[in-house]
Amino acid sequence: MTYGLIALCCLLFVLGPASGLTPGYGTGDALLAAQRAYFRRWGVVPAELFARPVREALTPATALFVHGSWVHLLGNMLFLFVFGAMTEERMGRVEFSLFYLGCGYLALLGYAAANATSEQSLVGASGAISAVLGAFLYLFPRARVTSLLPFLFFLPVRFPAWVVLPFWAALQWAAAGQTSAGPGVAYLAHLVGFGLGFGYAWVRYGRAARVNCAPAPAPEGENQP
């Protein structure tokens, strides 16, 4: 299912206007207009979600499969590739699918509730992927993750998940407190998703289900909403 989600997100992105690869959307101003309309149609617009909740109820789900740029897509898919497979193997295909969609939906809904008057479209899978990271942290706290740190000249360094992922969450928290109004990264959706994922794994599996051995190393990417 992890690889299926990656393939679906990539396919939808390539066929959509954000990729710039589909001639039917035009170029220049026409392409920009098509992108805005596409994001508004399939993404979450908080003001519209709460003004017309029945009509817009599915947008937190559809937004999980829409990405705004190549960097946005590839960053999210790298994280899903690295952390999704092991989490899915532990949960099982069906449970992982429901977990991914449910936590992703609630993460975007939480962001929308905190920005209920915003007219900006919110798209991306990072709320759901953040939930995967939270579950991974609980289930595989000692798993070794290879990270690229700017202050070490991007040399690959291996740390256990219990070091890397809380550090990542702390960065999201700090960034969320500095985010101004307007388009940008939805750090709050990351935090909500991460908390939901960790909490779900904690309640669902309990202490006995945690894997303390270190599995094969995996690279860490950059997550954006």
Where residue 13 sits, what CATH number does that domain have? 1.20.1540.10
In three-state secondary structure terms, 41 is: helix
Cα–Cα distance, 127 to 111 (Å, whole number):
9
Highest mean pLDDT of the ranges 87-101, 106-120, 166-180, 182-196:
87-101
Question: Domain range for residue 116?
Answer: 2-219
Assess contact for 185 and 179: CB atoms under 8 A: yes
Give residue-wise pLDDT tens across range 77-105.
999 998 999 999 999 999 999 999 999 99
Cα–Cα distance, 200 to 194 (Å, whole number):
10
Q: How many domains does the chain have?
A: 1
* Placement of tokens 């035009």 in the chain: 26
In a domain, 78, yes or no: yes
Least trusted range by pLDDT, from 23-27, 170-174, 220-224? 220-224
Active-site residues, by number, are 126, 190
Residues ≥6 apart with Cβ < 8 Å to 81: 2, 6
In a domain, 224, yes or no: no
In a domain, 39, yes or no: yes
Confidence of residue 224 (pLDDT cuts 50, 70, 90): very low
Plot region of 126 (φ>0 → left; ψ -120 to 50 → alpha; else → beta): alpha
Q: Which residues of 110-121 are buried (b: 16+ CB within 10 A; e: fewer)?
A: bbbeebeebebb
**Global pTM value:** 0.84
Helix axis angle for 126-139 and 70-91, nearest 10°, is 40
In a domain, 225, yes or no: no
CA distance to 73, 84, 85, 91, per residue, from 1 (Å): 18, 9, 8, 11
